[in-house]
A and B are shown apart, each in its own frame.
Chain A
Amino acid sequence: MIPVFLKNTTKRLEQGLCPYILILVHMVLGTALVYISPRSNLAFLVLITSFFSLYSFKADRRFKLAAGMVLTLLIFPVVGVRNIFYLEVIFQISVFSALALGLNIVVGFAGLLDLGYVAFYAVGAYLWAFFGSQQFYILHFAPGTQPSHLPFLLPGDAFYLFVFVAILVAALTGILLGTPVLRLRGDYLAIVTLGFGEVIRVLANNLDKPLNFTNGPQGITPIQQPTMPQVAVDGFNALFGRVVGHTVSPADMYNVMFYLFALAVIIIIIFVTRRLDDSKIGRAWTAIREDETAAIAMGVPLVRMKLAAFAVGASFAGVMGVLLAGSRTFISPESFSFMQSIGVLSMVILGGSGSIPGVILGAATVTILNLQVLQGLSLYLSQLRQTDAVIPIINFAWANLSSQLDPAKYQRLLFGLILILMMIFRPAGLIPSQRRKREPASDEAEAKEYHGTP
């Protein structure tokens, strides 16, 4: 009874102008809520989820594209500049979406479980961190002993060049690491990639001697930010100054710029993966994922195709690494732990490996859970600790709660639960991937006849 009712309702919602109105209402509602109460997490969630209605309702492609652009290029930056915490969340979602989409090429398309994906992220980050900082002049000093005023090796303009250098370097690293191990069976490969991830992290931690390349556990800082034309700041102020309510500083503008940058990378990744997926490379990847033996017997060169997946995935991580180094102006080995790799993996698995919208949804969900729910809980707990509230039945005073208990640090629990539950209940993810339907190249009508009504 109820399912029928639901079905009827959804059907009605998909007719005529209905979806358009719903999408617009969601967007406007989200924007208005955030505008009225800039500190509310709930309002922000409403805004973010308007992406979801944009994706799920049936509407004209051009309309969706336009609405998506308004949302990402206009509303998000303005809202983000008004409340910098939102911008941080949006930025992190974008960064992790990009990383997850990159990993998705390796895991989702080629079916190679890469547990050390952040190694390539680290390669990109350390690449710019080394060349875009004073590190070159610190080479011969032990960490913390260098004279105070050293020049930066490269100017901020070089950042843009290094985005492309990182593609090459990370891809090369991927090929270098992949060549010896990609013929291994899937589960061994997983452990070996984990090993590589750890090797890179340990190297980052310890290559402060004999020559100080990485500054060890302290990490490298300051790192050059890319140069940004003053016009951008002035322009933004002129256009949106009134809506924002305060003058936008270059620092804010940097945040917007890095967000847009991440967005651009996402769009490029989507473009590249879609194009590759529809070519012989993508088909070879899927074939390898489905059945390696059959694929190789059909003439698919296994190792070369796997290397390609590894290299493409790695290069995107490399770019994001450069972006991370530039935006944070500080990096340390901490950011490239095994947990980070699993975090990105859990995004892919949650959303649906091989599915682009799924992976983005996964990245957004995990990031929001991470940044808003877990941290929100932490905040709430620490507030409770200040009060003299008591848990009723067991008579436990919140003030006595161990300060070690900080939900924000329980990401492993989150990742672990996601991985287990998804594997058991929904291994294809929230939005499972779908193979593209092809228009028959020869005779359309005949095929339709065969299917009955299409």
Chain B
Amino acid sequence: MKRFLKSINIRELLRPIGQMILFSLGSTIVLSVIVLLLALILDRTVVGQTLIERLNVSLFTYTLVNLPQVAIDGLTIGFVYAAIALGYTMVYGVLEFINFAHSEIFAVGAFVGVEILIALEKFGILSNASLVMAYIYLILAIVAGMLAAGALAVTVERVAYRPLRHASRLVPLISAIGVSFLLQDVIRLTESLTSGQFNRIMPTFGNFDHRILFGKMAMGATQITLGVSIKSIIVIVSAVLMLVGLNYLVNATRIGKAIRAVAQDHSTASLMGIDVNRIISLTFLVGGMLGGAAGVLYALKFTRIDPFVGFFPGLKAFTAAVLGGIGNMTGALLGGIVLGMLETYAGSFMGVFTMGAAGTEYKDIFAFSILILVLIFRPQGLMGENVAQKA
């Protein structure tokens, strides 16, 4: 036991936590300052006056009051993005290939988790569950989602990508797009045949929907309560745990070393006695499991899922991976958090700041604008190294 404890590399356990805190705090502070400054400026314009007429608060106060909630929401979705982005980044690291179907791996994870919980609810198990049991069931659902998604990711690689490994770059990408489409409809088909409908709702149980309240705040005629919902905390904590685990796996174990070696150079790695195919499968397994867990967490947070639920989170997570520097795991974490924050801030405040001309409805293309800007001005991402293409 002692030897086991000794063999654990504490630094590798703590490092990602430090990074996460840094990234979260950093992006919260930067974005909050920007938003508040904007609010101060806009307060003097017609935007501020309209708001005072409507709600009797200044834009600045409005922004300030909403900030904590927005930051927490941003962080929650940011960690979900980070968990998905790691799947993209790991696969890209070893194969230089965009696993377009990763978004459906995520969706399958979500469906498996939710279906298990729905089944439990049907048998009346969930409603009678004690708080401890509720958490156990949730963990069960997450683990099931992870296993299903991991297995699926490995299968997809084996069937649809491995035969194409030596083809030109776009060939496996097209195959991946095909897998993505196929899986969407397979989910839909399975759900239609078994449950009769393909929009599924996460059952309510446990205390996940409760909110820990900070206080109340009057805003015009309405009262605004400030608080964090427990599920946000669950999402963040689970994501943090997984990310720490993954970081440990990759940076402090033999398997991780093998993964990194394969990412460097396939042929050299195989000369060193590493079974490249096994490591690639393993990469898909780990990425898929993370994606599956993210799927269940996503369902917990947003409640409603459908077969196409993976599309936007997938694209955004890919954006996050590119933003952080694709192939770079810390980058994916940073990218996910930053993107989740940016998107939530923009989605929450753009509406008021533009007097309703453009608001949440542009949230989804907001990520694309970031993707395009990053690719144009800093294709290697925030943390990627600048490596010239080989000639």
A residues contacting B by CB (< 8 A) are 111, 113, 115, 180-181, 184-188, 190-192, 194-196, 198-199, 202-203, 205-206, 209-210, 293, 338-339, 342, 345-346, 349, 402, 404-405, 410, 412-413, 415-420, 423-424, 427
Contacts and interface: CB of A to CB of B under 8 A. Distances in A.
B335 to A, nearest CB: 14
A265 to B, nearest CB: 26
B29 to A, nearest CB: 29
Contacts of B182: 412-413, 416-417, 420
B196 A191 contact: no
B172 A423 contact: yes
21 contacts: A181-B376, A185-B389, A186-B169, A187-B170, A187-B173, A188-B375, A190-B173, A191-B315, A191-B318, A194-B315, A342-B177, A402-B193, A405-B193, A412-B181, A412-B185, A415-B181, A416-B182, A417-B178, A419-B177, A419-B181, A423-B167
B361 A420 contact: no
Contacts of B215: none
Interface string B186-221: 101100110011100000000000000000000000
Contacts of B318: 191
Contacts of A417: 178, 182
A202 B361 contact: yes
Contacts of B361: 202, 205-206
B356 interface: yes
B170 A111 contact: yes
B76 interface: no
B136 interface: no
B227 interface: no
A210 B389 CA distance: 45
Contacts of B192: 402, 404-405
A204 to B, nearest CB: 11
Interface string B142-184: 0000000000000000001001100101111111011111111
Contacts of B174: 113, 345, 349, 419, 423
Contacts of B379: 184, 188
Given A186-B170, A402-B192, A198 B368 contact: yes
Given A205-B361, A402-B192, A410-B185, A115 B372 contact: no
Interface in B354-373: 356-358, 361-362, 364-365, 368-369, 371-372
B391 interface: yes
Given A202-B361, A412-B181, A423 B97 contact: no
Contact of A416 (B178, B356, B369, B371): B178
A416 B362 contact: no
A346 B182 CA distance: 13
Given A187-B169, A190-B170, A420 B372 contact: no
B184 A206 contact: no
Nearest to B376: A180
B98 A187 contact: yes
Interface of B: 97-98, 160, 163-164, 167, 169-175, 177-186, 188-189, 192-193, 196-198, 311, 315, 318, 322, 356-358, 361-362, 364-365, 368-369, 371-372, 375-376, 379, 389, 391
A113 B173 contact: yes
Contacts of B357: 209-210
A183 to B, nearest CB: 9
A413 B198 contact: no
Given A111-B170, A199-B365, A349-B174, A192 B372 contact: yes
Nearest to A188: B375
Given A199-B368, A419-B178, 12 more contacts: A181-B372, A186-B170, A190-B170, A198-B315, A209-B356, A209-B357, A342-B181, A402-B193, A418-B178, A419-B177, A423-B174, A423-B175
A404 B169 contact: no
A349 B160 CA distance: 16
Contact of A415 (B167, B171, B178, B372): B178
B362 A202 contact: yes
A184 B377 CA distance: 11
B344 to A, nearest CB: 18
A195 B365 contact: yes
A410 B318 CA distance: 26
Contact of B371 (A111, A192, A345): A192
Contact of B375 (A184, A186, A338, A423): A184
Contacts of B391: 293
A342 B368 CA distance: 19
B149 to A, nearest CB: 18
A205 B171 CA distance: 32
A186 B375 CA distance: 12
B160 A412 contact: no
Tell which of B167, B311, B376 has the most Cβ of chain A within 10 Å. B376
A170 B338 CA distance: 34
A410 B189 contact: yes
B291 to A, nearest CB: 17
B181 A416 contact: yes
Nearest to A203: B365
The 4 A-B residue pairs with the shortest CB-CB distance, nearest first, are A419-B178, A416-B182, A416-B181, A195-B368
A115 B180 CA distance: 14
A191 B370 CA distance: 13
A411 to B, nearest CB: 8
Contacts of B358: 206
B63 to A, nearest CB: 22
Contacts of B170: 111, 113, 186-187, 190
B160 A191 contact: no
A417 B171 CA distance: 14
Tell which of A187, A192, A203, A345 has the most Cβ of chain B within 10 Å. A187
Tell which of A184, A196, A346, A427 has the most Cβ of chain B within 10 Å. A427
A195 B196 contact: no
A66 to B, nearest CB: 38
B372 A195 contact: yes
A424 B175 contact: yes
A222 B389 CA distance: 52
Contacts of A346: 178
Nearest to A292: B389
Contacts of A180: 372, 376
A404 B160 contact: no
Contacts of A412: 181-182, 184-185
A202 B312 CA distance: 13
A121 B337 CA distance: 35
Tell which of B173, B174, B179, B358 has the most Cβ of chain A within 10 Å. B174
A252 B318 CA distance: 48
Contact of A115 (B177, B193, B369, B375): B177
Contacts of B183: 416
